Amino acid sequence: MTQQERFIEDLKRNQLMVAIRTESAEDAYHAAMACVEGGVRFIEVTFSVPGADEVISRLSGDERVVVGAGTVLTTDDARKALKAGASYLVSPAFDEEVVTFAKKEGVISIPGACTPTEIYRAYKAGGDIIKLFPFVEIGGLDFLKAIRGPLPFVRYMLCGGATLENISKYLAADAAAILIGAAIIRRDLVAAKDWASIAGLARSFVGKVEGSRTKT
């Protein structure tokens, strides 16, 4: 089994990836560590965070977490992310140069797409997992069901709309992963530096994943 195959298997088993998007590097680090304490294994630090590469570097030494970079829009971003220790690259859109760079460097590429044409182009270019974004706005779980008809071989990550109340439906869709943002990294909790509550939310989401495993 290749390193990429192991990554995808591990991600599919854990299901959750949390996107960290805060206004400072320090808040990003503490929010990420709160998620790790809550049992989240996959953390994506978005490049919209000032000093995102420093946060990735700090997190990459922790064996409990597989850290990646998000909002990777250019090969310069990608290069900086990998230098910092990112294991995978996530983008809101499909940029062929970024995907090609990831393939060349041997890291997982997760480009964003929201139409059948974009999804297939991103897949053909070498995207390992295709991030459906913005998931709710393009039709949510109904869209996923429809697109799997002609494109069942694509691995999908669902980005947007997942909450503690509906996460069971997302899990039942059996996607490669579910990307969670504001449902765990709540602005009010970050502003209050309430890392314990963020850890608690993360733990609740992880518990839902574990609960869904016992039912299958």
Catalytic residue IDs: 44, 131
**DSSP single-letter state for residue 102:** H
Q: How far apart are CA 137 and CA 140, in angstroms?
A: 7
To which H or E segment does residue 77 belong?
helix 75-84
Which residues, in sequence order, are CB contacts of 130 under 8 Å at separation 6+?
110, 111, 112, 113, 119, 122, 123, 154, 155, 156, 157
DSSP per residue, 129-156: SEEETTTTTTTHHHHHHHHHTT-TTS-E
